[in-house]
């Protein structure tokens, strides 16, 4: 179709319109459930999910890949999932100023707070706020 239309464009003749129609549609919904619409027939549930997987498996390129995927899916059906949680803790980082004992000051906050921690000025409107 594409080659015919390219030649038609070069010869300034009318091109053929592209039309596409599907044989069916698949959707894996999850938890071994799916939906399929094949040639007007509708399937739901496990059978539709199995059809989707079978279609996917048939389109894989090499037999080795098909075998590995089929084995992985079979093991997934036979055994439950392993629930493992990895807990990672980040080490606390200390600046040189904190190591030496002086409190850390952020440049943007310097001058906006009094030594007691109360706000002394509003940076947006320039108002003076009452210290509590």
Total residue count of the chain as it appears in this document: 132
- pLDDT number for residue 87: 72
Q: Rounded to whole angstroms, how far apart are CA atoms 97 and 70? A: 59
Q: Which tens digit of pLDDT belongs to each residue from 82-93?
A: 777 777 777 667
Mean pLDDT of the chain: 78
Domains of the chain: which residue ranges?
2-78
- pLDDT number for residue 86: 72
Q: Rounded to whole angstroms, how far apart are CA atoms 109 and 119? A: 10
Sheet containing 41-45, strands listed edge to edge, beginning at the edge strand earlier in sequence: 24-28, 34-38, 41-45
CB proximity list for 8: less than 8 A, separation 6 or greater: 14, 15, 16
pTM (two decimals): 0.48
Q: Which residues pair with residue 119 across a beta bridge? A: 113
- pLDDT number for residue 130: 52
What secondary structure, in 3-state letters, does the chain show? CHHHHHHHHHHCCCCCCCCCCCCEEEEECCCCCEEEEECCEEEEEHHHHHHHHHHHHHCCCCHHHHHHHHHHHHHHHHCCCCCCCCCCCCCCCCCHHHHCCCCCCCCCCCCCECCCCCECECCCCCCECCCC
pLDDT beneath 50, residues of the chain: 113-119, 132
- pLDDT number for residue 117: 47
């Amino acid at each position: 179709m594409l080659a015919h239309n390219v030649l038609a464009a070069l010869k300034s003749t009318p091109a053929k319109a592209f039309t596409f129609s599907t044989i069916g549609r698949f959707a894996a919904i999850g938890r071994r459930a799916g939906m399929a619409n094949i040639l007007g027939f509708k399937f739901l549930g496990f059978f539709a999910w199995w059809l989707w997987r079978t279609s996917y498996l048939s389109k894989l390129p090499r037999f080795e890949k098909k075998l590995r995927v089929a084995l992985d899916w079979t093991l997934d059906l036979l055994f439950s999932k392993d629930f493992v949680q990895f807990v990672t803790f980040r080490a606390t980082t200390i600046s040189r100023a904190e190591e030496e004992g002086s409190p850390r000051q952020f440049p943007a906050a310097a001058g906006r707070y009094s030594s007691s921690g109360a706000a002394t000025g509003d940076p947006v409107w320039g108002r003076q706020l009452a210290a509590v």
